[in-house]
Amino acid sequence: MQVIRRGDRGDAVVEIRAILTTLGLLQDPEPPQADAVYDAAVERAVRAFQQARGLTVNGEVNDETWRAIDAARWTLGSRVLAHEQPEPLFGDDVRQLQERLLELGYDLGRADGILGRRSAAALARFQREVGLVPDGVCGPQTFAALRRLGRKVVGGRPNLLRETERFRAAGAALVDQRIVIDPGHGGGDPGFSVPDGRLRWTEADIAYDLAARLEGRLAATGMRVHLTRGPAPSEPMSESDRASLANELGADLLISIHLDAHANPAASGVATYFYGQYGDGGVTSTLGERLAALVQREIVFRTAMRDCRTHAKTWDLLRLTRMPAVRVEVGYLTSREDRNRLTDPLFRDRVVEAIVAAVKRMYLVEADVATGSLDVSERSLPPLGEADRPTAA
C-alpha cells in the first residue's frame, strides 16, 4: 500500500480516524467525513499507537502499521473466528484467543494474532475436552466456555518453559544447527547511503558484508547457515517473506542485520530487538530476548559502541518467525563516528566476532560467563574483497 502521512485525504484516512477514535487515541466528536484530513492530531494518535504496539514510531501508516490498526478493531467475541485459507484471520481478538488457550495449557506456539492451523488445532482440542463440537471455530458457545474456565497453568512462565525445552532438545552443540542470517534492505532498496568521494556506502552493502562474514564464521563451526539474499540486485523481499523463508528452512535461530539513520547526526550506537508482546508488556519470545541481550552485550564490549540497549518490538520479521529471532541495528550511517567505524573492515570483523560469541553462549555455555571472555579468534577469515569497498554512486 502507499504510505499515508500528514496532509493526505481519502477513504483510508476516514477509516484510520474512525479506528483510532474507537481506541480512544483520537477525539473525533462526529464520524469522519469523506474529505477528512490526516492532520497533526491523527499523526500524534498514530505515533501513540505505534509506541504502544512496538512498531517503528514515525507517525506514518505503512503496510505494517495499517495491519496493526486493522487488527486493533477486533476484541474477542466480536466476530466468529475460524481458520481460513489462503488468508488466515488476524486481529487482536485472535491474539486474545491464543493467549487464553495458552493460559489453559494448550501449546500453539506464540500468540502472534494469526489464526493458523496450529491455533485452530489447539482450539479444537479445547472444544473436545469441554464437550463441544471440535470444529476449530470460536463461536458464541466456545467463547462462553472460554469465559467460564479458569487457568490450568498457574505460576512461572509456561511459554519460557516450552521454548527452553525445544531449544534444549536441539542439543548443546553448534554442529548442524540451522541459522538464518538476514541482511537488511537489498532487492532494489539500498537503504540510507552516504557519499565517500566518488563512491557511495549504502546500508544494504554494509549489512550484506557483515552477513557474509558472519556466514563464513558460523559455517566454520559446523552450523548450517542460510542468507535471505545475495549481494546482487534481486526482487525485493518484505519482512513477512523473510520470516516465511526462515520458517520453511526450519531455522533454529534468525539474526537480521541492519544499520540505522537519523535526522540528528548525534544519534549513534548499537541496539538489538526481539519479539515482545504489546499491551501488558509481557515478553513472548523469551529465548529471543536472551539472544538479543547476549548479542548486545558482546558487541558493546568488543567494539565500545554506544549501548542503545535491547527493546521488544512487534515487527513482522520478529513476530512471524517460529524460532528465536533478533534484529541488530549496528550503528548509524548518519553518525560520522559510527560511519568511520563501519567502513573499516577490521571493525566489521569485531562486530562479527561479537555475534559469533553470542551464538556460542546460547548453545554452549550454561553459566553466565563474563561478557567478552569467549575467544573466537581461531575461526577468523580474511576480509572479503569486493564487499570491503563501497559501490559506485
Q: Give residue-wise pLDDT tens across range 308-360.
A: 999 999 899 998 898 999 999 999 999 999 999 999 999 999 999 999 999 99
Q: Report the mean per-residue pLDDT for the chain.
A: 86
Are 329 and 262 within 8 A, CB to CB? no
pLDDT of residue 162: 66
Q: What is the pLDDT of residues 69-89, one digit of tens each?
A: 999 999 998 999 998 878 889
Continuous segment of H or E residues that includes residue 122: helix 117-129
Cell of residue 158, nine digits: 509456561
pLDDT of residue 379: 44
Are 23 and 49 within 8 A, CB to CB? yes
Q: Please provide the size of the chain in residues.
A: 393
Lowest mean pLDDT among 156-165, 231-240, 243-252, 380-389: 380-389
All domains in the chain, ordered by first residue? 11-72 (1.10.101), 81-155 (1.10.101.10), 171-392 (3.40.630.40)
The dihedral sign for the CA sequence 240, 282, 296, 160:
negative
User: Helix, strand, coil shares of the chain as percentages rounded to 5?
Assistant: 40, 15, 40
The burial class, CB within 10 Å (0-12 / 13-18 / 19+), for 353 is buried
**What does each C-alpha distance from 306 to 188, 309, 338 come to in angstroms?**
30, 9, 9
Tally DSSP H helices, then E strands, for the chain. 13, 11
Share of the chain above pLDDT 70, in %: 84
**What does each C-alpha distance from 87 to 83, 115, 121, 159, 194 come to in angstroms?**
9, 9, 17, 26, 40
Q: What is the pTM for the complete model shown?
A: 0.81
Residue 86 preceded by cis peptide, ω within 30: yes
